A and B are shown apart, each in its own frame.
Chain A
Amino acid sequence: MDVTLTVNGAQHDLRLDDPRVSLLDALRQHLDLNGTKKGCDHGQCGACTVIVNGRRINSCLSLAVMHDGDEITTIEGIGTPDDLAPMQRAFIRHDGFQCGYCTPGQIVSATAMLEELRQGWPSQLSDDLKNPELTDEEIRERMSGNICRCSCYPNIVDAIRETAEGAA
């Protein structure tokens, strides 16, 4: 099976011998992009979050062969150690991580989440379904798909709020 994935702007022509390879494992094992983490392989933790054609998804719940021609952004595409994105710098400043294992997923998820908000997507907590506001409660709700057992949640909320305000 031949699959073409555009990952962080670079095109990869993958030959997969096995249709069971998840998008997550394709990234980690076939493309050596280990930044995307596997916390549960079951769609329950968010550690594997990537952005596919502009939407955040759990890459463990999706097979690589379903993504022929898709544009994918992983943590490696958000920023590198020498050239960090504002969201990544805010996570460092606010200590939005401890062990760091959920962190790429949190940052990718937060990046896409702010975009969803900018586009006016409501959440179940939004009072105004057309123009939801960026409150702490909205951030918590929209980030609840990303589990952090080190429990850095308050710091994650601080980092996201600061990034959003800086970009506004």
Chain B
Amino acid sequence: MSDPITVSLFHRMNFRDEENLLDRTVQGVISTPMDRPEGPLKVSGTATYADEDHPPGTVYGWLVRATITKGWVVGLNSRALRRMPGVLAVIRDERMIRNPAQGGDAKSPYQGPAEVFYKGQPIALVVAETFEQARDAATAAQAEYLDRSHKAVIVPAEAEYETPRGEQSSQGDLDRAMQEAAFSVDVEYTTPSMSHASMEPHAAVAWWQDGRLTVRGSYQMLNTNAQELADALGVSPKKVRILSQYVGGGFGSKLGISHEAVGAAIAAQKLGRPVAVALHRRQVFETTHRRSESRQRVRLACDAEGRMTAVGHEVWVSNLPGESFSEPVTQSTPFTWAGENRLIGHHIGRLNLNGAGSMRAPGEAIGVPVTEAAMDELAEAAGIDPVEFRLRNIPEVDPSSGKPFSNNRLAECIRRGAEKFGWADRPKQPGSRREGEWLIGMGMSAIIRVNMMGPSTARVTLNPDGTALVETDMTDIGTGSYSILTQIAAEMLGLPPEKVTTMLGDSDLPPSIGSGGSRGAASSGTSVMLAAKALRKKIAERMDCDPDDLTLKDGTAIAGNRQRSLSDLLAGDTLEGTGTIKPGLAEMHHRQASWGAEFCEVAVSSVTGEVHVRRLSGVFAAGRILNAKTARSQCLGGMIFGIGQALHEKVETDARDGNFVNRDLAEYHVPANLDVPHIDIELLMDDRDAYANPMRAKGIGELATCGTAAAIVSAIANATGHRFRHFPVTLDKVLEKLG
């Protein structure tokens, strides 16, 4: 076989896309609700996740964890452990990490297992012939400590807060605007620490061959993950390969490498055998990242006509000492609602709890529910319907920076959502509708999430037989990457999707931004589009036509009245296209966000305090929708995440020692099937954002969760006449108010 003919295309997103190529291609697969190509593997249990398909000779590791909250490990009964059945090694290595890497770090997190910063922190790894032996031996571990737990800071109220200069801003005079306003609210809300709880626990299987490490693990951003792991181990990134072809959920918890990857790699190096380390569910809760709790003060004001004059949002969040991540709770506050007087405040406290990191929509996921619930309070104070109140306050341009919006479909989402949901039937008077023991109410929320892009590269190979192969290190964590990348390549090359194979989840493939921040589809999707566009140019050359005059459909190239099959045109050649997209000025001169509106009906039991979400519906605009089925599922997932946030989920921490009390799925309550009603979702299929990328598509994976909880708590307020400002709204809180 001869070498492939290579072509490439680089694009920096500096300007508006003028071409709108995907509206001119004719294959007709883009945006369709195509079934996931990997579906047959997933439903038959044949997709391979991290802790599976172990190489021959694999042995098993189990983490030993600190039983103190703060201090130093000065000894471990390693010798006794080593004598236990099957034990091969007890590893305490300076390269072990304190907490997982943050998304995109590209360097090792804080290292060294000797100093303890939180209860349950990994301090050693026991490796044994079998899983049962390793677990047993780790349970028998006894460490000696220099215990400084009395100096640990557990409770946010006792933390010292830093106020990073770059994260504060103000314009106009908020205090004065509040005083002079016809109506205002000045309220404090709290949101609890939460846990991602992806169904697949973090796991890694590591083996070394000829000085090169391979890790099959469960990670979201392979390019930076390989760099993080290499840095932790002290080897060149070229010596590390990470495989994550199937990832059993991430939601941010697998953005960075974690204890299992570093532990398994070190153990495999020491023992010269493959080592598997799978975190137990409790270890997942206690040692991987949590979402920070938050305290939020919101000040909003409007004039007598309901026109907003002031928006203030100050937040207090936490993390481990030295961690740079600080949940950007106010991220969308500067541009969502009008008002000339504004203030943003951000404070970060240091706590001796497991690290805080990104969880689905870091920032807006906890910021928007609070500002939107406060908007509901202001609308009520002003005596204006919450839908009408919002429609009066959508700004023409970003009111903080004066920049134009790339597009803003918020008003349309709200209007359309209200009509579909039957908002007109909302009880005008809070606490006025009753069905037996059940109090009925309705609430709504605007949904906002900033749109982002990251540098991504992909390779698309067109084979002589007219089939295509898409390759990038992008991951599919349930988001639908396999589907959309297949569809983009098929659409661009005029192939039925069955003729396109997509290979992901291998850090040896061209680097993408990975899955995180809802950037994956737009970034890696555009890189595939560009790679295919480079191939289209080559095909046009062979058709002797301008690329603009080329039509590709069902494996045939058409130009004017000429028509040839691709395989004929390729004449035995293989064409290999590489596409790279980088963010540029477009995101600086235009404010980009995805938009939506959600509506909810609840029934609150006046006897038990139970809240049932009876109906939930949402309308969303996120630019071009690449696959109507997977996009809808992402919205479903986001909205149901919001049900958990509003009603169930909270990390309970023992104030004395930071012990994670509800560290399993029986005690940390994520929504179960019966908690979830029928959910109605509409995607604005005609939306396009020309400033986002050449596909004109934006992020949708996190959008739908940014506000759901506000719709729910506002519905509870409408049902009961009481405001609940501390999430989650559990039965005890409801009963207390209902008396």
Contact = CB atoms under 8 A, between A and B. Distances in A.
Interface string B641-678: 10000000000000000000000111000111111101
B53 interface: yes
Interface in B231-249: 246-249
B629 to A, nearest CB: 5
Interface string A14-42: 00011011000100110001111111111
A33 B45 CA distance: 9
Contact of A34 (B52, B250, B634): B52
Nearest to B85: A18
Prevailing SS type, chain B contact patch = loop
Interface stretch (A114-122, A127-135, A147-155): A147-155
A103 B630 contact: no
26 contacts: A18-B130, A34-B45, A37-B49, A38-B51, A38-B278, A41-B280, A41-B281, A74-B45, A76-B45, A81-B41, A84-B43, A84-B44, A89-B43, A92-B43, A95-B35, A95-B629, A99-B250, A100-B42, A101-B49, A101-B198, A141-B674, A143-B673, A147-B672, A149-B251, A153-B672, A157-B673
A102 interface: yes
Q: Please classify how large the interface on chain B is, using the bins under 10, 10 to 19, 20 to 34, 35 or more.
A: 35 or more
A95 B36 contact: yes
B21 interface: no
Interface in A69-107: 74-76, 78-82, 84, 88-89, 91-93, 95, 97-104, 107
Nearest to B477: A99
A105 B249 CA distance: 15
Given A147-B672, A150-B637, A75 B132 contact: no
B46 A80 contact: yes
Nearest to B680: A154
Contacts, number: 191
A44 interface: yes
A155 B633 contact: yes
A15 to B, nearest CB: 13
Given A76-B46, A89-B43, A136-B678, 12 more contacts: A42-B664, A42-B666, A75-B45, A80-B46, A88-B40, A101-B49, A104-B44, A145-B672, A147-B199, A147-B670, A148-B199, A156-B673
B480 interface: yes
Contacts of A59: none
A139 B673 CA distance: 9
B146 interface: no
Given A42-B666, A98-B633, A99-B477, A151 B45 contact: no
B45 A36 contact: yes
A144 interface: yes
The 4 A-B residue pairs with the shortest CB-CB distance, nearest first, are A35-B45, A101-B248, A98-B478, A99-B478
Contact of B673 (A75, A84, A104, A140): A140
B35 A100 contact: no
B40 A98 contact: no
A25 B639 CA distance: 34
Contact of A99 (B46, B198, B280): B198
A84 B136 CA distance: 40
Given A140-B676, A147-B670, A81 B201 contact: no
